Amino acid sequence: MIIDLDYWGRLPVEGARVTAGVGPDARLYVLMRASGGRWRVLALHPDGWHAEMTADAHDIGFDLVQPLDDGLILASSRSARGIGGMAPNAVIYDSDGRAVREIVLGGGIADMQTTAGGGIWVSYHDQGFFPGTSTRGPLHLPGLILFDRNGGIVFRFPEAIVECYSLNVTGEHDLWAYCYPEFPILHLADTGIARQWTSPIQGAQTMAIWRDVLLMQAGYGSGEARVVKLGDRAEIIGEPVSFRTADRRHVPGSQAYTRGDAMWFILDGEVHLLSLRERLHLLVK
């Protein structure tokens, strides 16, 4: 099955794009380099308008972006040892783009997603680490941690996660995670596991969600997606799904930025999007 993406428009500003991420408001936040070592962040609204913020220069090489309160949090997926422990690898900016706080989120970050209430969910690769009290140095992470806006740990996932392949924070106390090695689909509510399923797919790195339906990357390295229905078990339904632009260019599903039911794509400076909720009637019959 081929799904035509909605065309949002071209990126409003030319420049060196670093990364992007979808916020709790369903906007796509695009991180770009600006002059003088500063950072420009575009917030693209699904309805077609955008806002822009310029953040002060910093010597951290940011590659993660999310909104936080009235400002932003920019982070590096890597971290290094500093004096007395780990060096900060994230900076919180106010609404005027001024750096107000540095915090440590640990190294080996796979994804970072904030909540409207100021929570910072961070998932990790298998090399993830965070400073601890061990005399051997950094402690290996549980794969998924919730931080507050001051960098304090609110919650550590209690079970062993070698690597969190996909994270989708859908509410203040609601999120979905898809984790290696056994690839369960986990639904967390109020920092506890509400339910989990054995996934019929291995190696998916993107996951959009609407109610009991997931649209997931079809597996390791795949450019297609599959529809997964959640019930007593997780089952693949329908045909493989591929994506294309209005002018019939193929867009790999692995390139999607997802949050909730929203999927955003950037291709050759053009922005496209898909709402799983709005296309559900095509995917589930």
Contact 45, 67 (CB under 8 A): no
Share of the chain above pLDDT 70, in %: 92
Number of structural domains (the chain) is 1
Best CA proximity match to 210, nearest among 251, 258, 166, 257: 258
Spatial separation of the C-alpha atoms in residues 122 and 143, rounded to whole Å: 8
- Record the tokens describing residue 25, joined without a space: 């408001």
DSSP structural state of residue 254: G
Q: What is the CATH number of the domain that holds 278?
A: 2.130.10
Structural domain harbouring 190: 2-283
pLDDT at 137: 38
Q: What is the pTM of this model?
A: 0.92
pLDDT digits 0-9 by tens, 54-113: 999 999 999 999 999 999 999 999 887 665 567 899 999 999 999 999 999 988 899 999
Biggest CA pair distance of the chain: 58
* End-to-end CA, the chain: 13
pLDDT at 13: 83
What confidence category does residue 191 fall into, taking pLDDT thresholds of 50, 70 and 90? Answer: confident
Contact 202, 219 (CB under 8 A): yes
